[in-house]
Chains A and B, each alone.
Chain A
Amino acid sequence: MKDSEVLTEAIVEMEENKAMELTKQLLENGVNPMEVFEAYQKAMVEVGKRFEKGVYFIPELVMSGNMMNTAMEIIKPYLSEKETTDQKKKLGKILIATVEGDIHDIGKNIVATLLELNGFEVRDLGVDVPIDTIVSEAKDFGADIVGLSGLLTLAFDPMKDVVAKLEEAGLRDKVKVIIGGGQMDEQVCRYVGADAYVIDAVAGINFCKQWVGAN
């Protein structure tokens, strides 16, 4: 097995210490940093697959995300300018926010991290974000997708208002809208006028990839 494959396997199997040591070792031994980076990307794909199969869950998503973020800091100094630019090429732009009135952010943060690690450019507006801010930021950012998060039922109306305001601003046909949170269902999705609703992170990332033609 190639060293980079051993690294991928260590990440996938959640062997954090081994993965971190191996990352440093490979880079110090002069292995191409892009190859190390790709080992992480491959691992993330496999973790996503296992999540979809119901083998992996939140612990593995946050562990692998955490490992990759730590590794990125280790890899960065080894990358050439061109590689850094290449690495920054993104699949698409996603604006993400917890809507007005709701201050919950755990789900949103997990999704934002995973989107970044999956190659999206993410602008995260935080929690309790006013409707007009979401719409103006979507325009300013040139978002391909707007992701709206909310745990509480009081998030339904602000979500609906965002969709209406996007329409008013003439942006609705340019952006996809996805909603996520514990009480989202088909009924809420229709009420809000969103393109999709999700109740888990990986399903959300898959919709986004599909929309930008990356699947």
Chain B
Amino acid sequence: MTDTKEHLSSSQKQEAFLEKWASGEGIDFPDEKSKAAYQYRAGIMKDAIQLKKTPDRAPVVPLTTFAPVMLYGYSGKQAMYDPHILGKIALDFTTEYDVDAAGIAPMIMYGPALETLDYHLYRWPGHGVKEELSYQFVEKEYMKAEDYDHLIVDPSDYWFRVWLPRTHGALAPLAELPPMYGTMELPMAGPWLCTLGAPPIQQAYKALLEAGKQCFDWISALGPYLGRIMASGYPFYAGGATKAPFDLLGDSFRGTVQLMMDLYRRPEKVIAAMERLTPLMIGTGVAGAMANNNPLVFIPLHKGADGFMSNEQFEKFYWPSLKAVMMGLIEQGCVPCCFVEGGYNERLEYLAEMPKGQSIFIFDRTDMARARKILGGKSCIGGGFPISLIVTGTVRQVEDETKRLLDTAAGDGGYILSIGCAMDEAREDTLKAFIKTGQEYGKY
């Protein structure tokens, strides 16, 4: 990005950011061959996204969480507790399976830091889930119905003094802190500072700093492996990540059932909260993209899928804030990459409202023929391969289905071959068959 970026249109900003990312600038390649390989892979991704040029072939990008860990015979716990094991798995998986974009490591996080924080939002291997398995989300009503006004008036204050204490056991004492706004004047600064000195609060801050130190050491150990992945010729499939405001509220704050009832009990509060959270979610995505020098911002979509709500409700409660987040990302040169979980057959027309060639939609269980028909020539689509075949199918079944999917969805570009979910597990034979068939049959 240059100093003149303020004067560029959003599509020019995106072009510049994508171009910079695809060039491999700043990556310490060992040789020209690796650099060319990186540029080829990032280049076909860029072509698939922008719809200006038919790429050489459809990029093959299976999204994973713990699948590579399992494939190399490690446990989920080992991956979450040893950055060297995680780093080696990420490097080996990316190069051996030869995917067009890598991504596992940032999805995993560091177990000891979560222990320090007594993190309640997930259970993870060795901590509420068997050591060999993957982490799992624990959805609860962390935010009460009566909390809406606090969230809407001051999300950061609510987040810090109410939500963090409820979701991170070690930070529970922060609930006793007064608001920090008294620091504006000497006589009013006392309550905040005095409370900060109370032993439980001191403990909470120590835990937070300790978790930060643990994560810093972790990423310092992991970083060189991630650098080697890129230097070996493999771009990462996401720079940042963010959420649709409705999912943020439904997943981590109110819980699905409570939020769904809120649509009837306090619809105006839900909408006000969505609007308030929108700029926060844009900022979160952009910050990650800038820090990692990668314009792709991953957005997993959850609770707006077919079956969760009517189109009328989607139009009122879900789509406006998601669209605003996506547009906000695009305006700052990022590429929103929605991972559309569940089915979106009823929603495709909404997605078609996005400006041409600036977003990605990776689908799970959406009819890919319909996705191609409605979004083809408008936005890059991807996914649609059933995980059930990777886990329980035969090589032959996988080859046939991969070809069928490419015939249906690849068109003349604008398609990324991917599996409909981020894989917790996989089989070597079927996953390799999927990738190989994709690379061969996916040529344009």
Residues of chain A at the chain B interface (Cβ within 8 Å): 14, 16, 54-59, 62-63, 66, 101-104, 106, 109-110, 152-154, 156, 182-183, 185, 187-188, 191, 199-200
Contacts and interface: CB of A to CB of B under 8 A. Distances in A.
A104 B263 contact: no
A193 to B, nearest CB: 12
Contact of A59 (B133, B136, B260, B392): B260
A58 B387 contact: no
Contacts of B309: 57-59
Given A153-B423, A153-B425, A200-B307, A63 B388 contact: no
B117 interface: no
Contact of A103 (B128, B342, B421): B128
Contacts of B392: 156, 187-188, 191
Contacts of B365: 182, 199
Contacts, number: 85
B142 to A, nearest CB: 14
Contact of A63 (B128, B129, B134, B264): B264
B367 to A, nearest CB: 13
Contacts of B257: 62, 106, 109-110
B313 A102 contact: no
Interface residues of B, number: 38
A187 B393 contact: yes
B391 A152 contact: no
Please list the 10 inter-chain residue pairs (A to B) with the smallest Cβ-Cβ separation, ordered nearest first. Answer: A59-B260, A191-B392, A187-B388, A188-B388, A59-B263, A57-B309, A103-B136, A62-B260, A62-B257, A153-B391
A187 B420 CA distance: 15
Contacts of A200: 307
B274 to A, nearest CB: 15
Interface of B: 123, 128-130, 133-134, 136-139, 255-257, 260-261, 263-265, 307-310, 313, 341-342, 364-365, 386-389, 391-393, 421, 423-425
Given A103-B138, A182-B421, 9 more contacts: A14-B264, A16-B264, A58-B307, A101-B129, A109-B257, A152-B136, A154-B133, A156-B392, A187-B388
Contacts of B423: 153
Contacts of B388: 153, 156, 183, 185, 187-188, 191
A16 B308 CA distance: 20
B307 to A, nearest CB: 5
B425 A187 contact: no
A183 B308 contact: no
Contact of B307 (A106, A109, A156, A199): A199
Contact of B313 (A59, A154, A188): A59
A109 B257 CA distance: 10
Most chain B CB neighbours (cut-off 10 Å) among A16, A55, A188, A200 = A188
A63 B309 CA distance: 13
